[in-house]
Structure 1
Amino acid sequence: MMIFQFYYFCIYFAIGSTSSLLSVYFKDQLHLTTSQIGLLMSLSPIVTIFSQPLWGMLSDLTQNPKKMLLIGQFSSILIALMYSTVNSFSILVIMVILLAISQSALIPLSDSISLTYIQKIGGNYGSIRLFGSIGFAVAALISGELAKSYGLIVIFYIFAFLLFVGILIGFLLPSATPTTKKTSVIKGLPYLLKQKKFVLFLFFAFVVFGPVNANNTYFGLYIQNLGGTLTGVGIAFLISAGSEAPFMQYAKRLISRFGMYNILLLSAGVSALRWVLYFTEPPLILVYVSSISQGLTVGLFIPAALQYVKQLAPQELQSTAVTLYASFGLGLGAWFSTFIGGYLSDYYSIHAIYILFALLSFIGVGIMLYLKSTSKIPSKEEIAS
């Protein structure tokens, strides 16, 4: 189990080193406009919608997810090092797309291997995944400090180094193939899209989790706008990402006590209030304190959402259902919020981004209230019929 924990720490440390400061790099180092930054950052989630299923298909075809994971890591290292040498906006577009394709293999294939391993030996996925949150949080702080001393370009070297360490650890991970036969997204789509509750939940993920992911793009710029330094950006990400770990550790217990609907409703409501607060231009210290709320909106949202999706979908379509959920929340939702947010910031101010996020999250509250009011989840027998 410890080898997985160390592996997740390294992978999320690598991702965190760029996620927290890439928009700042575009602004301070390359002097791009906010709309250009929004366009570049919105490319990754939309590319991921198509590239993640491709990695999954290759993994199923080769029956060797570990091999495909190592390929994804190695290609990400090469692309990131090339990325650091590019100044042209048009070439940046290409590099963003290429890195999104290669990097999109890392999390789902890591999860596939770890979940298969856990199913064989027993264990708690949350106790592994929380090390990812810790790695992401620590990366934000350390990357900010190193960037202050050596320049923002250092984030690419940190990313490459930690992925290289991940490759070394990856050779020690157990080989794993899926224990159940997966149904393709294409075959599962017609059935799932006829389920009203499932479609509504996709929109819920779009409007609630999309802004949460898009915030990673603009949060660093927002902190700087309020007078924060690169170290301050690192501290903010440390607090927000670090708060996910304890909530993720106890997510199963909290969901069992309060129910999925209440946890998801709480996540949407807290997100909406957080974005409203940011729109009002609060003191920087209040932004740091409010960052703790990300533990609720991510640390509890992810396990509750996965549990909800799995209960709505039949066994043979659960992988398809999770893929669709990820596509709407991590893909389309993040793309929409990031893309529109960039233009709102250019035409008004960076604070306008957060009124968009708040409005979307309040829509999510309404959707979840409706789902809760019709909360009978169908039994497996009812789904099968």
Structure 2
Amino acid sequence: MEVKAIKNQFKLLYTSIYFAIGALTSLLVLHLESIGFTGTQTGLVMAAGSLVLIFSQPFWGIICDKTRKTLMVLRITLIVAGILALVLSVVQSFYLFLFYYCLMHFFQGANAPISDTLAIKASNQLGSNFGALRQYGAIGFAIAVFIVSNVSEHAGLRVIFIFYFIAYLIPALFFHPGIKADDGIRADILSGLKDLIKIPEYRMILMGTFFIFGPVVANNNYFSLLYRHSGGSLAGVGLAFLLFAGSEAPFMKISAKLIDRIGIENTLMMAAATSMIRWFWYGSGPAPEMMLFMFILQGFSVGIYIVSAAQYVAEKSLSSLRVTAMTIYSSAGIGLGGIFCQLAGGVLLDYFNVLAIYIFFGISTVLGMFFLLNVKRRKHKFD
């Protein structure tokens, strides 16, 4: 397969997967509110999905590394997660919704880390830039929220589940990477896991991601409430996410140049510092027009952090355990970090208001920056 064709396959994969995630996560809080869930129940649903990711992502990573059937795992998990989303569209009971949402996340957990692992491998083989491929995830997310928020104003919020299903079905049927997805080397998984955890830099990036990326994940859920609290409309939420997530794409593309110029550790610190400023500012209750005007903050902070952290994890992990390393990293940020911030957000919403959630996000990011600072100090110590 030609280089251009391989790149187009990954563009399809990233656009579709993150279209599904954007369609669901950005408006799910409003859907749960519309069917009568309390703030605490909403926080529990979000956190429960993230809790499942803690176990499902490493599980699927180990399955891929053990069986060397990465593409088969990807296709099956995409289809099953999509079907479960359709089931969720008709569920109104809190406990039933919680059950099916967790089950959906069990299968969804395989997709992002497998995609990143395959894309990094393809980039290395093609001499390409991982960020140039990964940016299509941000584009897919942005387009999804814009389209789905506008459609849902007329067709109702249940359409988010239908869009999720369709977007997951497309790569399940049509994605063909054009590279060898699995290495011939079989690793001792348990021994390899012990080796990964022994790497200090790997432990630090896991902890940093917990505190820094947890708020990013939770923001996808709570931003619609913040925007409405500030006087914005539902269609405005779609425009906001179009600008926010769309701004990630160009920064993902230039992240490699930034890493080459100032180093990967400094790049991570800059992205985290920008996130911190953004959350504290949101906590002050800015006007919706100002949030739209400052959309570039998300592009610089989230876009650069996603690519830089994934590249850092890939560099620090064993080649035979790369999928496992990536999935454990994803669990730390998207799983544990998401639980921490989503649960706290739900409680803060019941006792205070949505502005308190964003003050909390800022404090969490400050804590994460201390772990990144330790990563940077270790580099200088051994240089």
Aligned residue identity for 1:178: D
1:330 aligns with 2:334: yes
Q: Residue in 2 aligned with 1:382?
A: none
Return closer, same or farther for 1:315/1:114 CA change in 2, 3 Å cut-off: closer
Equivalent in the alignment of 2:258:
254
1:9 aligned partner, one-letter code: T
Judged with a 3 Å threshold, the aligned counterparts in structure 2 of structure 1 residues 359 and 124 are, in CA distance, closer, same or farther, namely same
Query: Paired residue for 2:10?
Result: 4
1:82 matches 2:87: yes
Q: With structure 2 as the length reference, what TM-score do the two structures score?
A: 0.91
**Using the alignment, how far apart are the partners of 2:318 and 2:116 within structure 1?**
20
Q: Is structure 2 residue 160 aligned with structure 1 residue 155?
A: yes
Q: Is the 8 A contact 1:116 1:178 kept in 2?
A: no
Distance in 1 (alpha carbons) for counterparts of 2:369 and 2:287: 27
Query: Helix, strand or coil for the counterpart of 1:250?
Result: helix
Residue 21 of structure 1 corresponds to which residue in structure 2? 27
Find 2:146's aligned residue among 136, 141, 145.
141
More displaced 10-residue stretch of structure 1: 88-97 or 41-50? 41-50
In structure 1, how many angstroms separate the alpha carbons of the residues matched to 2:381 and 2:129? 24
Q: Structure 1 2/194 Cα, relative in aligned 2: closer, same or farther at 3 Å? A: closer
Q: How far apart, CA to CA, are the structure 1 residues paired with 2:322 and 2:106?
A: 24
Of 218, 221, 224, the match for 2:225? 221
Question: Which residue among 282, 288, 301 is the counterpart of 1:278?
Answer: 282
* Greater relative CO, 1 or 2 (CA 8 Å, sep 6+): 2
Q: Deviations over 1:86-113 (max 9, x none)?
A: 0000100111111101111222223344
Equivalents in 2 of 1:343, 1:148: separation in Å?
A: 28
Report the counterpart of residue 241 of structure 2 in structure 1.
237
Equivalence for 2:112 = 107
Deviation at 1:175, TM superposition (A): 6.5
Distance 1:359 1:41, change over 3 A: same
1:246 maps to a residue whose letter is: P
Maintained 8 Å contact 1:268/1:365: yes
Change in 2 beyond 3 A, CA 1:334/1:160 = same
The question of 1:123 aligning with 2:128 is answered: yes
How far apart in 2 are the matches of 1:184 and 1:15? 33
Percent identity among equivalent residues? 36
Corresponding residue number in structure 2 for 1:358: 362
Structure 1: distance between partners of 2:264 and 2:351 = 39
- Measured after TM superposition, the shift of residue 65 of structure 1 is 1.7
Say whether the 8 Å CA contact 1:141–1:235 is kept in structure 2.
yes
**More off after superposition, 147-156 vs 53-62:** 53-62
Contact 1:116–1:179 at 8 Å: present in 2 too?
A: no
Q: Secondary structure at the match of 1:243?
A: helix
Instruction: Indicate which of 203, 209, 214 corresponds to 1:199.
Output: 203
Q: Does structure 1 conserve the Cα–Cα contact (< 8 Å) formed by 2:66 and 2:186?
A: no
What RMSD, in angstroms, separates the aligned Cα atoms of the two structures?
2.2
| Structure 2: segments with no counterpart, 5+ residues | 1-6
Shift of 1:318: 4.9
- Contact 1:65/1:113 (8 A) holds in 2: no
Cα separation, 1, equivalents of 2:71 and 2:202: 31
Alignment check: 8 A CA contact 1:113 1:176 kept: no
User: 1:216 deviation in Å?
Assistant: 0.8
Change in 2 beyond 3 A, CA 1:123/1:377:
farther
Change over 3 Å in CA distance of 1:225–1:185 after alignment to 2: farther
Q: TM-score, normalization: structure 1? A: 0.91
Residue 305 of structure 1 and its aligned partner are, at CA, apart by: 1.7
Change in CA separation of 1:136 and 1:184 when aligned onto 2, cut-off 3 Å? farther
Going from structure 1 to structure 2, the CA distance change for 1:179 and 1:338 (only over 3 Å counts) comes to: same
Partners of 1:188 and 1:320 within 8 A in 2: no
Cα offset for 1:336? 0.5
Match of residue 72 from structure 1: 77
Q: Does 1:43 align with 2:48?
A: yes
Matched with 1:287 is 291
Question: What is the aligned counterpart of 1:209 among 197, 213, 216?
Answer: 213
Give 1:32 shift. Answer: 1.1
**1:346 and 1:9 mapped to 2: Cα distance?**
35
- SS across alignment from 1:376: helix
Deviates more, 1:95-104 or 1:295-304: 295-304
Change (3 A) 1:20 1:184: farther
Segment drifting more, 110-119 vs 247-256? 110-119
Local SS of the residue matching 1:20: helix
Please say if residues 66 and 113 of structure 1, whose CA atoms lie closer than 8 Å, have aligned partners that are also in contact. no
- 1:55-70 paired onto structure 2 within 5 Å: 55-70=60-75
Q: Is the 8 A contact 2:23 2:160 kept in 1?
A: yes
SS state at 1:340 partner? helix
CA 1:68–1:320 in 2, change beyond 3 Å: closer, same or farther? closer
